[in-house]
Structure formats: C-alpha cells, structure tokens
Amino acid sequence: MSKTHNKAEEDFFVTVLKEEARAILLEVGSSVDPETLVSRVLKDLEALAPKAGGQEERHDEEIWRQVRERLLKEAYATRPYCIRCGTCCAKGSPTLLREDVALFNEDVLKPADVITIRRGEQAYSNITEEVSPTVKELIKIREKLGSKECVFYVTGNKSCAIYESRPVQCRRQECWNPEASLEEAGDAPLTRRDLLETIGPLWDVIVRHEEHCSHNNLNRSIARLSATKGQCVEEVLEILRFDHHVREFISEKLNLEPETLEFFFGRPLKESLDLYGLKLQEQGDGSFLLTTLQE
C-alpha cells in the first residue's frame, strides 16, 4: 500500500474522529472544540486502534464503542459541574433513601409521586443498568408512562420541578464523572415501614398483603404450577385474587387513586405474569381465569 493511500486513510479517520468528538461535546454541553478534545486523549485512542497483522479480535463496532466511551468521559471532564441538561433525569428516576423522608414531611413528595418496588420484583436499576430481582424493598420516584423519564423532569426547558428539594441520589449524580457512585457506605433505602408504620390499620393491611402476596410467594406457586402441569392453578389464582381484592377494598375505603395504591402495595401482581408467559383474565361474573400468552 502506498504512503499516499495510508495518508488518505489517516486523514479520513481523523476527520471522522473530530466529527464524533463534535457530536459528543454537543451532547454533554461542553464548549471545548473537537480538536482539543481529541488531542487530550490521543494516546488513549491510539491504544484502542486495531491491532496489526490480523491479531485484532474486536469488531469495528466494538472499537468505535470504546473510542466513543473514552471521548465521552473526557468531554464530561471538561465541565465538572451540573448544567441541568436533563440527561440523567431522562435515563431513570431516583431510588429514595431514608434521608429523603424529609421530602414527605415537607410535602415535596406525596404517595402518588412514588412507586414501591417490592422485594423479589424484577426491576431496572439505573446504577447497574440491568433488570434483576430486587433484594430489598425500594421506593422510587415515578417515571412517565412509556419512558424512563422522571415525572418531575420538565421536558420543555430541561428542568426539574423540585430541583431545590431533589432527592439524595439526584444531588449525588455527576454525569461528568462516570466513576462517581450514587451509593455510599451506610446508605439505607427508604421503605414503606419508615413512612407508614405509625398509621396503624392501613399498615396492618400492608403487612398482611406482603405476607400473602409477596413476589417470592408468587414465584414459588408458579414454579409448582409448572411442576404439576397446572394442577395447583388455584393456589396461584388465590394469591392473585387476594392482591386484587385488597387493592379494590382499600381504594373504595379510602377513596384512593390507582397511583397511590402502587405506593402502598406496589405494582399489581398481574402485571408480572407476562414474565412467566401467563396472563390473568377477569370474567363477567367477577371470577378470574389464568391462561398462557399464546391462548
């Protein structure tokens, strides 16, 4: 290959790299010029270049992903402060910690603003960016329907409706520092017990509901349903009926909106059934029928 051809390839690569840097700088809201950004990480980028002699095992997509991650990290480092761009607000809502109990005491947050993720429930973590069963009960700020945007994120002007009283995790968020953690030693998640134990009768209902309708109970019953080829379907239905009727009873008794019920009792269990390939149908006489998604 001629030196002229090599030079042309190198010039093309540098041009593409600068355009990638330009897009990243725009994304993070930095005023640094693309050439400066590239020069700051040039040695790192050279180390990420494809290996010669047919020794490269990465695909082009993987190489460019690594290049972009390095550019992104450096771009954030050029403006180590919050510019309220809304990026973190659009990626997921925060999990509340015990320190956030003051937000309820001060009426910044109300039950309809949050949702309980119960122990054992499959949930997405904006820390690990994975979906897995939760090992502890969590209370999260609600997200807008059909997206991961926090309900307090004002899309029009990229602002937070409760910015001055935002939760602890939001205050810790540092998008310019990918190594920063939203969790610290000694952190304890806020739970329903912290907020509701003193209420009395309502808390007793929540405890009874959790004992009977936990996600672990549902998991075990559905496992038995599969093992017995449907013979213990009534056991699963009994859990689902209990979950449904408790919500119905409390809603009527206290005149509560569905959003508030998702704080007191978490998401309805029937919404978890698709994970098992099942669905729940309510019949005209008020009874329930458990079927597979294929039926």
What total number of domains does the chain contain? 3
**Length of the chain measured in residues:** 295
211 and 147 in one domain?
no
Q: Is the pLDDT of residue 94 over 70?
A: yes
φ, ψ of residue 294 in degrees (nearest 5): -80, -20
Residue 103's alpha-carbon distances to 97, 110, 227, 284, in angstroms, are 11, 9, 46, 43
Q: Are residues 283 and 242 in the same domain?
A: yes
Q: Please give the share of the chain, as a percent, with pLDDT higher than 70.
A: 90
Q: Which of 77, 108, 127 finishes a domain?
A: 77
Q: Look up the domain containing 184 and give its range.
A: 87-191
The domain boundary, picked from 31, 59, 77, lies at: 77
The angle formed by the CA atoms of residues 269, 114 and 212, to the nearest 5 degrees, is 30
pLDDT digits (tens, 9 = 90+) for 100-137: 999 999 999 999 999 999 999 987 765 666 778 899 99
82 within a domain of the structure (yes/no) = no
CA distance 67 to 45: 6
Q: Say whether pLDDT at 240 is over 90.
A: yes
- Residue 6: pLDDT band by 50, 70, 90 thresholds? low
Render pLDDT for 172-219 as a digit per residue (tens, 0 to 9): 887 766 666 667 767 899 999 999 999 888 999 999 999 999 999 999
More confident call, 8 vs 250: 250
Domain end marker among 22, 48, 77: 77
For residue 11, the model assigns a pLDDT of: 67
User: Which has more pLDDT, 240 or 183?
Assistant: 240
Measured CA to CA, the distance from residue 172 to residue 1 in angstroms comes to: 52
pTM (2 d.p.): 0.73
**Measured in Å, how far apart are the chain's first and last C-alpha atoms?**
62
